Amino acid sequence: MQTPIRFGVTKRWSDAVVVGNLGFFVEVPDNPDDSPIAQFQAVLHQTAARCAEIGTSHDQLVQVLVYLPYAEDLALFNELWDNWLPHGSAPTRACTHPPLADSRYRVELVVTVFVPTKT
């Protein structure tokens, strides 16, 4: 049985958890007052940085759940996503339009990523 490795642990959540070869984390933009494009760029940058923090990269994404509360943001988000994601490394992905905890947020990502075993 493998013990979870936790990053950025608080009383309520961890910034990321790695179990075996899978990492799990959630990203929301650091500044909910930014424009939609700035929030999308920020959350993609944060995702790549979180991947690096846990020992992997965003070309190893396994599954991403995309929460966009405003359906009209989908085309812009997809354009940025397509430019950010390395060719041939697309994860499974779902996108839904629920309200988020703070109505200023334009995106939230729930990420599962492959984390290679360190040798």
Alpha helices in 14-68, H assignment, sequence order: 36-53
Return the beta strands (E) in the chain as ranges.
Answer: 5-7, 16-19, 22-27, 61-67, 92-96, 108-114
Selection from 63, 45, 43 nearest residue 114 by Cα? 63
Confidence category of residue 101, pLDDT binned at 50, 70, 90: very high
Does 56 score more than 80 pLDDT?
A: yes
**CATH superfamily name and code, 5-114:** RutC-like (3.30.1330.40)
Question: Where residue 1 falls among pLDDT bands split at 50, 70, 90?
Answer: low
For residue 108, the surrounding DSSP H or E stretch is strand 108-114
Q: What is the mean pLDDT of residues 48-64?
A: 98
pLDDT-based confidence at residue 119 (cuts at 50, 70, 90): low
